[in-house]
Amino acid sequence: MSSYESHIAQERLVEATNEAEALRALETAHDMLHADDVAKPEHTYFRLEEFSIYRPSGWTANKRHAGELVSLDQLLRHGGGSSGFLVDGILSCGEERHQIQGAVFKTLTVDGYGADVFSVHDKICIQSHSAELRDVWYQFGSPAPQYRRYYKPFLWLAHFTKCFVEYLLETERVTLRHFAREAQFATWLRRCYGNDAQYAIWCSDNGLLEYRTTVAANVGFLYKEAYSIDRKLCNQPLWGEIDPVNLTAIPAQRNIEQQTIVTPFAYDLFKRMYFSNQLKQLPVTDPVLWQEVRRRKEQLKLTPLGAIARCKGPTPEGSNTSETSTPVVQEGDVVAVKADSEGVWKVSTEFWYAYVQRIRTTTKGNVRLEVLWLYEPKDTTLGAAYYPFSNELFLSDNCGCGSEAISLDQVLCKVAVEWGSTDPAAVPGFFVRQKFCTVAEEDRYSFETLKDLDFMCICKAPADEWSECLRAYKVHETVLVLRLRLTATSGVNLQGDAYEPGDEIFADLSDGELAELEGMVHGGLDPAEIVGFNSDMHAVEVRPFRRMTDNSTATASAPNELLLGRERIQLPAARIVRKCHVRLFDEVEIREKRVPCPYDRGGTGNCFFLARQTSTLPPPAFKAGFDPAAPGRPKLRGMGIFCGGGNLDRGLEDSGAAEFDYAVDWAEHALHSYRLSSKNPHAQYFLGSVDDYLTAAIAGSSTNPSIAKVGAVDLMAGGSPCPGYSALNVNKLSDQSLKNASMVASVVAYVDFYSPKYFILENVVTMTQGMGANKDENVFSQVLAALVALGYQVQQFLMDAWSYGSCQQRYRFSGD
Ligand SMILES: [Zn+2]
């Protein structure tokens, strides 16, 4: 006996009778009640009170859910409930009352479709097997207390279903968009039932402004009801968008290509990897298309098409080291020195290369060269990855200046370097087009196009904090300031001022002083408006905003909702951390949670908001932050590959920077979800393999509108299948794993072919670990190498979803 059954056994009000006996007695009562009626009622209804509905024991093979209470909308749905449900309750007719128990039923009807009144209370009936034989219906009254929490939501849904079916009956070409906020369905609903009191109650019960989720979540029940009313309703396009067993809104493409299709460039970059047997290279053979691809790369100053094939000359390394006399070196030269095998730097090479930023002569007459080291690809995060251009070097932020400067007699020779060249095949010696930047403590690395400032180390341009601050910020701009509060139990003296526990510290603390105060101060970043600069004190006067959440009465507010502050404080320039966005919104927008992205993300992106004052006070003077609704800003045209349900692409769209026109994935359910959550009515979907897609794109002759043309994609986003790398995959060398892993080469091939302006790749962290039979192949480094070799600037991040407002810990790396 299930827990539910034992529970009701104690509560039994009326002695349970056999259902057939109960029916006989009730029918007798019914006959007597209607003995004097001229016209007999068409159907016989008995009232069912105190009812509970639950699953029979045969529901699943393992009987796990036997006896479980269940909502009526689950009846006869796909994948369960085919044996019907059981009902307990009290059947009555007039004064005659009988407890029934475990009556099996499969038939549920909701009457009242097409009626002018909104309510379907008292119109929901079931028919058990025994009742069916006698053409008797059980009409629901009030549920048993333990069943109320199932019945109430079902009643809500039954009302929705009535309206849904009626709407379908009256409307042609219904799609899910009709159920969006303020769309056709909502308008229709108000027109039909806006004056019905029951409708008003129903509305206030759910507070919904749109019904798309309701439709999608209850598609099984809605379909069953629509089918039972009129089979023709099942031809509405809506079902093909949402019915998980019959999705047809996006046509499926035939899968022809079994291998991973890549461009010759991508093939060259990945042909040494453990999954290379999965790759098949496909060159562009159509001359017109070839020119388009070439022109696109030229426009974006990327590596020219076919550079690898043309770049097979000898490595220029140490080509003229036979010079015997010390060469004449000038500032701006590049020199080679012998690699230092004793030092801290790893030595895998014979020579080191350095850019001479300054030459000075010591008091003893020695000539010293202050340098910036140039890295070979293997000295960067590309590591052991194969890099196709052996004549490319990277300027670094690693300098040899001051006491680290090298002496002239260490120089073996001067080296010819072409700065800023984009064609590796067109330079006789080395070329440098990017700087490799490191913030090792934050695990942050990037390859960036050379700038003039890169040719001098920051040690030589000592930052004047104050002038830097004056240059960076203006009055009325909004910034994040670091505020520090003394949390120690006793007071401290800092720079002649005494601070008591709880005091805010305004002193300009050195790194040493800060280290000494470790554990005694607590600080955080707060948004503030700059109101002035105090040049005498080298201090910035700011007016901090207050946070709504600091008000004990407003705990439900977003953490980034602010109030205007009155307090003005002076802080040292070093406490101004960075700019932030603060924007005013109407009170009603905030209350109805209609604050637009990115202001609706709890402070992510340094975005804050506050309510616009309706009083006659003059508007606040601070400079309003980024306006997501500003017209006229062209959006990057996006393409999502391996896009799945589209979370990454939707996030990028939310940022306001992009709109996705193309989506490619072969998961039917995921891509249909993508389609429904996209706001772009012109988006094109390809439900099929990325290999077939790229084959068609490279052939150049497809008329399929979902195949993007070269030049149509500004922003490409993709996360190639992670199962090949996931830590949960125990066999990373199986054919399936190899195929999945090889898809990363496909991603590179897409970038090579389409040359987007921006590309974002997201994947699991294990992709950055050693792979292959000997665990010595780093797929991530190889992807970076490919992107750098294509001529892109690349940034890599290790990110954790919970730092970005998601309630999960989920590290991802991302390169763009
Ligand atoms: Zn330096």
Any idea what the CATH number is for the domain that residue 800 is in? 3.40.50.150
- Catalytic residue selected from 234, 597, 722, 807: 722
In this prediction, residue 497 carries a pLDDT of 84
The alpha carbon of 358 and the centre of ligand 1 are apart by a number of angstroms equal to 10
The alpha carbon of 471 and the centre of ligand 1 are apart by a number of angstroms equal to 23
In this prediction, residue 809 carries a pLDDT of 42
Q: How confident is the model at residue 113 (pLDDT cuts 50, 70, 90)?
A: confident
Q: How confident is the model at residue 728 (pLDDT cuts 50, 70, 90)?
A: low
The alpha carbon of 372 and the centre of ligand 1 are apart by a number of angstroms equal to 8
Residue 232 lies in a domain: yes
**Which residue bears the tokens 């809104």?**
249
Whether the per-residue pLDDT at 711 is higher than 70: the answer is: yes
Closest by CA to 537, choosing from 598, 585, 634, 466, is: 466
The residue among 431, 460, 489 that closes a domain is 460
Alpha helices in 210-324 (DSSP H): 212-217, 219-229, 237-242, 264-270, 287-299, 307-310
Number of domains in the chain: 4
The alpha carbon of 342 and the centre of ligand 1 are apart by a number of angstroms equal to 21
Q: Greater confidence, 59 or 24?
A: 24
Based on the domain organization, do 216 and 156 belong to the same domain?
Answer: yes
CATH of the domain at 427: 2.30.30.490
Closest by CA to 690, choosing from 754, 749, 732, 756, is: 749
| pLDDT tens readout for residues 89-102 | 999 998 889 999 99
Whether the per-residue pLDDT at 419 is higher than 70: the answer is: yes
Residue length of the chain: 816
Whether the per-residue pLDDT at 389 is higher than 60: the answer is: yes
Residue 465 lies in a domain: no
In this prediction, residue 3 carries a pLDDT of 47
Based on the domain organization, do 775 and 644 belong to the same domain?
Answer: yes
Residue 72 lies in a domain: yes
User: By percentage, how much of the chain surpasses pLDDT 70?
Assistant: 86
Give the domain range for residue 391: 334-460
Whether the per-residue pLDDT at 264 is higher than 90: the answer is: yes
| pLDDT tens readout for residues 322-363 | 455 667 899 999 999 988 766 555 555 778 999 999 999 988
Summarize the chain as % helix, strand, coil (round to 5): 30, 25, 40
Give mean pLDDT, residues 202-210.
83
The alpha carbon of 452 and the centre of ligand 1 are apart by a number of angstroms equal to 16
The alpha carbon of 806 and the centre of ligand 1 are apart by a number of angstroms equal to 41
Closest by CA to 178, choosing from 190, 188, 166, is: 188
In this prediction, residue 394 carries a pLDDT of 97
Based on the domain organization, do 502 and 596 belong to the same domain?
Answer: yes
The alpha carbon of 373 and the centre of ligand 1 are apart by a number of angstroms equal to 10
Whether the per-residue pLDDT at 320 is higher than 80: the answer is: no
The alpha carbon of 415 and the centre of ligand 1 are apart by a number of angstroms equal to 21
Based on the domain organization, do 483 and 442 belong to the same domain?
Answer: no
The alpha carbon of 457 and the centre of ligand 1 are apart by a number of angstroms equal to 5
Q: Greater confidence, 311 or 483?
A: 483
Q: Greater confidence, 93 or 462?
A: 93
Q: Greater confidence, 10 or 654?
A: 654
The alpha carbon of 458 and the centre of ligand 1 are apart by a number of angstroms equal to 6
Whether the per-residue pLDDT at 726 is higher than 70: the answer is: no
Least confident of 7-21, 201-215, 500-514: 7-21
Based on the domain organization, do 805 and 684 belong to the same domain?
Answer: yes
Q: Helix, strand, or coil here: 685?
A: strand
Based on the domain organization, do 184 and 72 belong to the same domain?
Answer: yes
Closest by CA to 781, choosing from 378, 227, 398, 423, is: 378
Give mean pLDDT, residues 566-580.
92
The alpha carbon of 198 and the centre of ligand 1 are apart by a number of angstroms equal to 77
Based on the domain organization, do 384 and 528 belong to the same domain?
Answer: no
Residue 278 lies in a domain: no
Whether the per-residue pLDDT at 807 is higher than 50: the answer is: no
Instruction: Mark whether 722 is an active-site residue.
Output: yes
Give the DSSP per-residue string, 388-406.
S-TTEEEEEEEEE-GGGPE
Residue 621 lies in a domain: no
The alpha carbon of 803 and the centre of ligand 1 are apart by a number of angstroms equal to 34
Q: Which of the listed ranges 50-64, 301-315, 340-354, 523-537 does the model predict with the highest average pLDDT?
A: 523-537
In this prediction, residue 656 carries a pLDDT of 82
Based on the domain organization, do 603 and 675 belong to the same domain?
Answer: no
In this prediction, residue 201 carries a pLDDT of 92
**Which residue bears the tokens 């003059």?**
618
State how far the Cα of 641 lies from the Cα of 692, in Å rounded to an integer.
13
Based on the domain organization, do 444 and 574 belong to the same domain?
Answer: no
Q: How confident is the model at residue 36 (pLDDT cuts 50, 70, 90)?
A: confident
Whether the per-residue pLDDT at 9 is higher than 50: the answer is: no
Q: How confident is the model at residue 154 (pLDDT cuts 50, 70, 90)?
A: very high
| pLDDT tens readout for residues 729-787 | 556 667 888 888 899 899 999 999 999 999 998 875 655 666 666 666 788 889 999 99
Residue 191 lies in a domain: yes
The residue among 213, 242, 271 that closes a domain is 242
Whether the per-residue pLDDT at 10 is higher than 60: the answer is: no
| pLDDT tens readout for residues 471-488 | 999 999 999 999 999 888
- Would you give the DSSP letter of residue 618? P
Alpha-carbon dihedral sign for residues 235, 241, 246, 252? positive
| pLDDT tens readout for residues 508-546 | 887 788 888 888 888 889 999 999 999 888 899 999 999
Average pLDDT, the chain: 86
Based on the domain organization, do 455 and 484 belong to the same domain?
Answer: no
The residue among 242, 257, 275 that closes a domain is 242
Q: At what angle do helices 735-754 and 779-790 cross, to 10 degrees?
A: 10
The alpha carbon of 233 and the centre of ligand 1 are apart by a number of angstroms equal to 75
Based on the domain organization, do 518 and 421 belong to the same domain?
Answer: no
Residue 276 lies in a domain: no
The alpha carbon of 376 and the centre of ligand 1 are apart by a number of angstroms equal to 20
Which helix (H) or strand (E) segment is 108 a member of? strand 96-110
Based on the domain organization, do 426 and 501 belong to the same domain?
Answer: no
| pLDDT tens readout for residues 587-637 | 989 988 889 988 998 898 899 999 988 766 777 889 999 998 888 778 999
In this prediction, residue 814 carries a pLDDT of 46
The alpha carbon of 245 and the centre of ligand 1 are apart by a number of angstroms equal to 65
Q: How confident is the model at residue 727 (pLDDT cuts 50, 70, 90)?
A: low
Residue 318 lies in a domain: no
In this prediction, residue 686 carries a pLDDT of 98
Q: How confident is the model at residue 191 (pLDDT cuts 50, 70, 90)?
A: very high
In this prediction, residue 796 carries a pLDDT of 82
CATH of the domain at 505: 2.30.30
